[in-house]
Structure 1
């Protein structure tokens, strides 16, 4: 391009234009503007509804600075007033009631309390159901109110009752399927003590002796067949003002026959004088019988009572 052409071109551009300038509108118009206003109005309505719902929930649930409804958040934990219902498991460290009201745990089926270790394994369980109360643990204990004395404890090996007195008030008494070991058995004052085995035998054993005492009454031992008193190494000692042996067989003594005895359970015949004094005799096998007393001993080891016993 030559210099003249450049000058001519620049002069043409610097000349003022006589035409009017064109203006282009800036903004949202038409359906876009209407959609924007609609969404803004919808957002405003949604905010108002949410605010109203939030205020209604706060009012119904009774939200306060201290907590919600019957639930109060304190420095020591959470406090519930009134009746509370839990639909899912509850994990807490301690549950206790107010000082002036009891603590009630209620369920339509059962109430189960579980104890677990740090690994989540079940170590103890207490279930209160409609039919039974079950406790599953290694050792079950019932202590006194002061928490010191153990009143009842049970484990796999034994059951211990630590109360001063065990009282059974049932009409059938106490039934034990196996042996019972105790240092003392006694009845209540003015009451009878009865040890009974309806279909089997009753055995009382003690390595150092068995003592049966009736300080203010009678002591009776009754059996259907035989009553044995046996001492393997010692003696049987009967100490009383009067010792009576009833229903002993009586042998009649005849002077014409030196060894003629006949067993008789009745008194001598009415023709002979009435015998009032008898001699207590013993057979070699230990059987006792009565023989009419005479000037000398009338006991004969060859008596029919000893022979047929």
Structure 2
């Protein structure tokens, strides 16, 4: 019995020595794992403390998002002011029903549209000095019926509004021709067409009509006023036709002079060149006797 007890004690001592040796070998690994675990805990705690309300822009994570960021069935929802430092790729951006959508930048706001190949097809840039749009066709539509109010492309600019109103003090300046079926002024206002330094030309293949239904029509010029009809006639129709400031022809020395000191009736004469002049009326025609004015026409 004593021999067996001694053998059992020796085996127990050997097993204890073996376990101690393995534990001492694994102790550095256990210590390293404990240190790494402690570092991870410290880092996580520091991040949570940093993200916690010390800064109002960051809040701890929860089951549906983080801070102002919420993940819903319809997508991602942001509350308040959000800043993106890198490009944001989304399909649609909507604001709340009771608030507007505000895009703000310190320099400018640029919206780009690209095709499936990544090529730029349209661009809208809102800057401090100008708003620029680059596209094949630019349209402005009415919110009620979708009617085109303004459209522009390389060929033409179309204004679909019922009325085009220019309120500038200098009016509207057109570098080339203007085609319109009707030009009219505002009610109780005058219509004025003026060319300050050049000519004003109105042309129409089927005629030009100028009408003043309740007023006068005046044509004033500094030099000659030409009324020309190449194939038709010039027709003057009025109750009274007056030709003022016509020159008066004088009798030649061989012609008899008028005995009346005050002439009130004149004869309308025409020179071969078409010039009109007046001649004092007599018993017969006096145009021939006062035709010396035609020499200077």
- Greater mean alpha carbon deviation, residues 219-228 or residues 64-73: 64-73
- 2:279/2:290 contact within 8 Å kept: no
Cα deviation per residue 1:72-111 (whole Å; 9 max; x = unaligned)? 3333332222222221222222223222222211111111
- 1:141/1:151 contact within 8 Å kept: yes
Match of 2:155 among 154, 157, 161: 157
What secondary structure sits across from 1:304 in the alignment? Answer: helix
In structure 1, the residue matched to 2:236 is 238
Cα deviation per residue 1:15-68 (whole Å; 9 max; x = unaligned)? x99986464211345975663553344234234325535655487434333333
- Greater mean alpha carbon deviation, residues 283-292 or residues 51-60: 51-60
Q: 1:48 to 1:126 in 2, by over 3 A?
A: same
Aligned residues: 284
In structure 2, the residue matched to 1:277 is 265
- 1:70/1:80 contact within 8 Å kept: yes
Match of 2:128 among 126, 130, 146: 130
Ranges in structure 1 where 5+ consecutive residues have no aligned partner:
1-15, 261-267
2:262 pairs with 1:307 = no
2:32 pairs with 1:39 = yes
TM-score, with normalisation over the residues of structure 2? 0.84
- 1:277/1:292 contact within 8 Å kept: yes
CA distance in 2, matches of 1:207, 1:160: 24
In structure 2, the residue matched to 1:4 is none
Match of 2:18 among 26, 42, 53: 26
Q: 1:276 to 1:108 in 2, by over 3 A?
A: same
In structure 1, the residue matched to 2:215 is 217
In structure 1, the residue matched to 2:170 is 172
- CA RMSD, 1 decimal: 3.0
Match of 1:112 among 107, 110, 130: 110
CA distance in 1, matches of 2:288, 2:88: 92
Give the drift of 1:166. 0.8
CA distance in 1, matches of 2:26, 2:64: 48
Q: 1:171 to 1:219 in 2, by over 3 A?
A: same
TM-score, with normalisation over the residues of structure 1? 0.81
